[in-house]
Structure 1
Amino acid sequence: MPTLEPAPARRLTWLRWGCTTALGLSLWCAGAALAFDLQGHRGARALAPENTLAGFERALAIGVSTLELDVVLSAEGVPVISHDTTPNPDITRDASGRWLQSRGQPFNTLTLAQIAEFDVGRIVPSSRYARDFPQQQAVDGERIPTLASLFELVRKLRADHVRFSIELKRNPERPHESPAPEAFVQAVMAVIQAHGMAGRSTLQSFDWSVLKAAQRLAPEMPLSFLTIQRPRSNNLESGVWSAGAQIARHKDAPAMVAAAGGRLWSPNFNDISQRLLERAREEGLRVIPWTVNETSDMERLIDWGVDGIITDHPDRLRAVMMRRGLALPPAVEPAQASQAPQAVRTATTH
């Protein structure tokens, strides 16, 4: 009997699962069983203000399959879109137009009216953030949107193909800045279900206690287990971030994710190797690494067989996919995007 060569890492995809469970997805979804998941990180962070409606419109105009975003809760318990549990001084101006000089009060202590006063349409020019993203085009007057307003915008633009990867931002080392996991999941799921987006959404978090709560409260929801294993940041080591689990008690990160009931693993792209991707396949996991901005890294990861990539540069990833002959998600033309009323773009009270 001839010796068989080992098969390359097999690419799985959310579309094969999502298209059979979600109602109302586009024909593109139904016909692209092997589509690669192009995720725009915080919209299109390298090109437009992060986690804003303007940024999400930019990502849609480029053409993404998934909008990646972050949510926290306001004092009223309303999900609003922010990467940080407190206002970020690198991107936040107050009602008088002055840059915040330090981290503000936690969002869960601020009302929607107070949150609506912040302008997050521009980076502080002297900041490292500005140096990291010199191509980002400011949109002065852009406000922190609610999760509901994003869903409404996507419906108005008829971007029926796009999915949402929603990160629930909770720091278990600063629990006073966030709601309890159960309350957090309930608040986010209420908005998702009210807008009919359960079949198009995935919940993700570095705090696995949030994912454990989601497994109990919304067992039908796809979940993404976020990981980072850097020398100065490791959410798998102590058990504080990973709901008590510790990497030392498992063979590797894929085994740890699988033991937690995960089906989708989203590691820092620096932490993954081809062998570790193969291990993820052995554990039955799909793999979508974050945040990949250089073309050479995108090429390598696609060669290895990842299921998608989260990137600040959806334009670069789309170009790579085009050269590779991968199926491209539809783009929402800028002319369509411009039809969205300004009231929707800045709303924070939906």
Structure 2
Amino acid sequence: MLQKIGHRGAQGYVAENTLASFQKAIDLGVDAIELDVHCCASGELVVFHDFTLGRMTDGVGEIHNFTLPELKELKVANQYDIPTLEEVLLFVDRKCKVNIELKGHNTAKAACDLILQCIEDHNWLMSDFIVSSFQSDELEKMVHLNPQIPLAILTQASVEQAMEWAKRFGATIIHPHFSLLTEENCKMAKVLGFQINTWTVNDLSDIERIKKWGVDGIISDYPDRI
């Protein structure tokens, strides 16, 4: 069954990577949410896309230089808090699966710890998670920390590169940008045993075309369009 995945929550409707955006995605019936994490100066994983604060908040500077209390003083889109990954996972509470993108450096260990904590203390399953990244060093760390955590290879380069990396890291999931997809390379990836979740697909005609190619999941700012 095609997985409906909300990009940074439902960022077409509510400011990205906020609890309100994740709630909107859940209300729209997603199978999973996708989010991004950075490690802040006090060590916590915060859910935020950019390496710098200026686009989405009233702050200025690189997010990894700020402690969690400092980040909590800022507002996303003038009204929302920057959540921690722990806060998001407690908030979601298995209402859907969670795709954690390791965006910042040194995020693998903290993400692994939180995933295992959710499994041990809050009855999550390993299959409730996907960890994805463009960064080979974070992917490699995650494999060494716990090879059972489902891993996905993000790419804007090519489907072939994603499959090469997937073989290297023992991953069975690839996350190529939708512009890289063709009917042929989707078929090839499926024959080789890879799951395909593609991003960020918002146009209805693109969604309908890609559905016909047998992808496993579509990541969208407007998950209700899938």
* Same structural fold, with TM-score higher than 0.5 when normalized by the shorter chain: yes
Among 259, 267, 273, the alignment partner of 2:167 is: 259
Q: Which residue of 1 aligns with 2:152?
A: 224
TM-superposed CA distance for 1:190, in Å, is 1.4
Question: Per-residue deviation at 1:59?
Answer: 0.6
Please say if residues 153 and 162 of structure 2, whose CA atoms lie closer than 8 Å, have aligned partners that are also in contact: no
CA distance in 1, matches of 2:32, 2:13: 16
Question: Normalised by the size of structure 1, how large is the TM-score?
Answer: 0.60
Equivalent-residue separation in structure 2 for 1:198 and 1:187 (angstroms): 18
Shift of 1:90: 2.5
The letter for the 2-side match of 1:148 is E
> Which amino acid in 1 is paired with 2:173?
L
Aligned match for 1:163, one of 94, 97, 100: 97
* Partner of residue 200, structure 2: 291
Q: Whose strand proportion is higher, 1 or 2?
A: 2
Q: Does 2:88 match 1:150? A: yes
* Cα distance change of structure 1 residues 161 and 114 upon mapping to structure 2, 3 Å threshold: closer
Counterpart in the other structure of 2:57: 92
Alignment-mate amino acid for residue 143 of structure 2: Q
Aligned equivalent of 1:203: 131
Task: State the one-letter code of the partner of 1:54.
Answer: A
Aligned partner letter, 1:93 = D
Deviation (angstroms), 1:161: 4.2
Q: Aligned pair in 2 of structure 1 residues 107, 255: CA closer, same or farther (>3 Å)? A: closer
CA RMSD across the alignment? 1.7
Is the CA contact (8 Å cut-off) linking 1:288 and 1:308 kept in structure 2?
A: yes
Contact 2:163 2:174 in 1 (8 A): no
Matched-pair contact (CA < 8 Å) for 2:202–2:222: yes
Give unpaired runs (5+ residues) of structure 2.
Answer: none
- Long gaps (5+) in structure 1: 1-34, 95-103, 123-139, 171-177, 230-235, 237-246, 318-350
TM-score normalised by L of structure 2: 0.92
Distance 1:273 1:301 in 2: 8
The percent of aligned pairs where both chains have the same amino acid is 34
What amino acid sits opposite 2:92 in the alignment? Answer: V
Judged with a 3 Å threshold, the aligned counterparts in structure 2 of structure 1 residues 255 and 48 are, in CA distance, closer, same or farther, namely closer
State the structure with more CA Rg: 1
1:78 aligned residue: 44
Alpha-carbon displacement from aligned partner over 1:31-65 (angstroms, at most 9, x marks no partner): xxxx2210000000110010000100111111100
270 and 111 in structure 1: CA distance in 2 versus 1, 3 angstrom threshold: same
Matched, 1:66 2:32: yes
